[in-house]
Amino acid sequence: MIGDLTIAAVMIIAVALAFDFVNGFHDAANSIATSVSTRVLSPQWAVLWAAFWNFIAFAVFGTAVASTIGKGVIDVGQLDSLDVLLAALVGAIVFDLITWYYGLPTSSSHALIGGLAGAAVAFAGPSMLVGEGISRTAIFIVISPLLGMFLAVVLMNLALAVGQTITRRRILSLDHLNTGFRRLQLVSAAAYSLGHGANDAQKTMGVIAAVILVDQGLPVQKFEVSMPIVLAAHAAIALGTAAGGWRIVHTLGSRITKLQPVGGFSAETAAAMTLFGTANLGIPVSTTHTITGAIIGVGTVNRFSAVRWGLTRRVIYAWVLTIPGSALIAAATYFALQLPLIADLGIVIALAAAASVIILFRRRARTEATIFSPP
- State the DSSP string of 134-198: HHHHHHHHHHHHHHHHHHHHHHHHHHHHHHHHHHHHHT--HHHHHHHHHHHHHHHHHHHHHHHII
Task: Give the pLDDT band (50/70/90) at residue 208.
Answer: very high
Q: Between 286 and 153, where is the model more confident?
A: 153
pLDDT (mean) for 181-186: 79
Most confident segment among 112-126, 272-286, 318-332: 112-126
pLDDT (mean) for 299-309: 64
pLDDT at 343: 58
pLDDT at 2: 47
Most confident segment among 49-53, 96-100, 163-167: 49-53
Lowest mean pLDDT among 182-196, 214-228, 312-326: 312-326
Most confident segment among 57-71, 153-167, 215-229: 215-229
Is 225 a residue whose pLDDT tops 80? Answer: yes
Burial of 60 (0-12, 13-18, 19+ CB in 10 A): middle
Residues in the chain: 375
State pTM to two decimals: 0.78
pLDDT (mean) for 328-340: 89
pLDDT at 201: 77
Backbone phi and psi for residue 106, each to the nearest 5 degrees, phi listed first: -90, 180
pLDDT at 151: 94
pLDDT (mean) for 95-122: 83
Local structure of 237: helix, strand or coil = helix
- Are the C-beta atoms of residues 30 and 207 closer than 8 Å to each other? no
Task: Read off the amino acid at residue 106.
Answer: T
Q: Between 320 and 215, where is the model more confident?
A: 215
Task: Give the pLDDT band (50/70/90) at residue 374.
Answer: very low
pLDDT at 370: 35
CA distance 24 to 234: 10
pLDDT at 126: 92
pLDDT (mean) for 104-112: 77
Taking only the tens place, the pLDDT of each residue in 12-52 is: 898 888 888 877 766 655 666 666 666 777 766 777 787 78
Is 258 a residue whose pLDDT tops 70? Answer: no
**Percent of the chain at pLDDT exceeding 90:** 16
pLDDT at 311: 55
User: What is the pLDDT of the chain when averaged over all its residues?
Assistant: 77
Task: Give the pLDDT band (50/70/90) at residue 375.
Answer: very low
Who's near 342: CB < 8 A, 6+ residues apart?
336, 349
Task: Give the pLDDT band (50/70/90) at residue 238.
Answer: confident
